[in-house]
Structure 1
Amino acid sequence: MLANKVGKQLRHPTYSLTGWLVSKFFKWHNQILEENAVKLCNIQPNDTVLELGHGPGFGLQAAAQLLTAPEGKLLGVDYSQYMHEMASQRMKEQISRGKAVLYCSDLVAMPIEENTVDKVFHCNCYYFWPDLKAGARAIHRVMKPGGNMVTTLRLDSVIKAAKLKVLTGDKWRPDVYMEALQSAGFTDVRMENKREKLTTLQAIFATAVK
């Protein structure tokens, strides 16, 4: 029961003690993943960049610093109202200047036009999506031809979560997600091991082909 409760809060944090604790977990566990995903995206100053499942907004902050050209724009999607409001507060300056737009939305229903996004990144979240193939198609839909997507995770932690039944089924497996990306129209789908200080993490890369 506890594993199920924790899994639900990781998937969809709410205004609760457990949700608050999850937000602290994101800062401790996800910040290094967020920063590396941003770095590996190779963001250019005039890109349109989208973060999926942005949580409290640490990755958004890191990406915003790189979008220095007037055309540069940052988009964020998270279907937790709690995380949406937390990130909106963190990014209020960029939002007020029209530099960033955040949506409280399901991934598949995100209100972003087709072929408009240069770079997409997300961290530690694909295994919470109800349907990996539908999620991959939704990402592919909004990306420009040749656009790059990066997701980061700590596979050792994910495996532990699966053993504890915090994650169920086989969606946590990177190969299952990579197969979904390929079926949606991505190419050059691969996973690489990365090292950041004392932390080993994994990065999945994919390029949108249209």
Structure 2
Amino acid sequence: MKERLIELVARNLAKPRNSLSGLIIGHYFLRRRNRTLEENAVKLSKIEKDHTVLEIGFGPGVGLSKAVEKVQDGKGKIYGIELSLSMVNSANLFYKKYINAGKLDITYGSVTQLPYAPNTFDRIYHVNCYYFWKDMPLACTELYRVLKPNSYVVATLNLERLKLSKKKGLMKYASFDPIKYMHALESAGFENVKIEYLNGYQAIYGHIASKPQMRIIDETIVKANK
């Protein structure tokens, strides 16, 4: 019974299912577990009122609501993309007022195939997320593609909590090695990639100062050599 419960939690941590267990884990476990990390990710992103911002894997949406507060009085807008259809449906319901006001856009999709044009976002942030990316190099390339020059990505995590979860068997579908993620960011073109050890959690940053010219051929992004 215990092993079945651990397996259920592990699967729903990777991708909350459209089921009672998925809703319970997604809305109660993840909301409580991620709240501080979400709030700090938004804070560290230094979102300005006219910024266009993307959250990857928004889960129960705690970070989305905090980010929307930053752009309420400006021209900015918050976007969220999530691989769990259950979380997408819930966010569309809970944050309907922000969506109707034109301040929030919710999308069902994957970080490895972001449905946004190049150079769209001023900031990207994510929380307890990169561990579940099956193709991390491609995901980081997509982050780089959709970010504007003079922008950055922020990821927040709690390594001690992750290690404890791994011991319990709850991270069997995850790989939270921060070095692997940082190397993938650097390979994708991010600069000044670093990790900070803050008060009870960690933050990983990847900056983009400038970008080479890009041209689009058959919907494939190719870096121009000129």
Give me the TM-score of the superposition, normalised by structure 2. 0.86
CA 1:173 to 1:84, structure 2 compared with 1: closer, same or farther past 3 Å?
A: same
The percentage of aligned residue pairs carrying the same residue is: 36
Structure with larger Rg: 2
Using the alignment, how far apart are the partners of 1:147 and 1:156 within structure 2?
Answer: 29
Which residue of structure 2 aligns with residue 57 of structure 1? Answer: 61
Using the alignment, how far apart are the partners of 2:18 and 2:85 within structure 1?
Answer: 9
Give the secondary-structure state (helix, strand or coil) at the position aligned to 2:125: strand
Larger displacement relative to structure 2 (67-76 or 176-185): 67-76
User: CA contact under 8 A between 2:11 and 2:173: conserved in structure 1?
Assistant: no
| Structure 1: 5+ residue stretches without partners | none
Using the alignment, how far apart are the partners of 2:189 and 2:208 within structure 1?
Answer: 6
Which residue of structure 1 aligns with residue 196 of structure 2? Answer: 192
Larger displacement relative to structure 2 (10-19 or 164-173): 164-173
Using the alignment, how far apart are the partners of 1:206 and 1:26 within structure 2?
Answer: 25
Using the alignment, how far apart are the partners of 2:96 and 2:59 within structure 1?
Answer: 15
Which residue of structure 2 aligns with residue 152 of structure 1? Answer: 156
Task: Count residues with an aligned counterpart.
Answer: 206
Select the residue among 108, 121, 127 that pairs with 2:131: 127
User: Once the 2 structures are TM-superposed, how far is the Cα of residue 11 of structure 1 from its aligned partner?
Assistant: 1.3
Select the residue among 11, 14, 17 that pairs with 1:14: 17
CA 1:182 to 1:170, structure 2 compared with 1: closer, same or farther past 3 Å?
A: farther
Alignment of 1:1-210 (within 5 A): 1-2=3-4, 3-23=6-26, 24-168=28-172, 171-195=175-199, 200-209=200-209, 210=211
Using the alignment, how far apart are the partners of 1:36 and 1:168 within structure 2?
Answer: 26
User: CA contact under 8 A between 1:162 and 1:172: conserved in structure 2?
Assistant: no
User: Once the 2 structures are TM-superposed, how far is the Cα of residue 25 of structure 1 from its aligned partner?
Assistant: 0.8
Give a deviation string over 1:129-165, Cα, whole Å, max 9, x none.
1111111111111100121111111111111223334
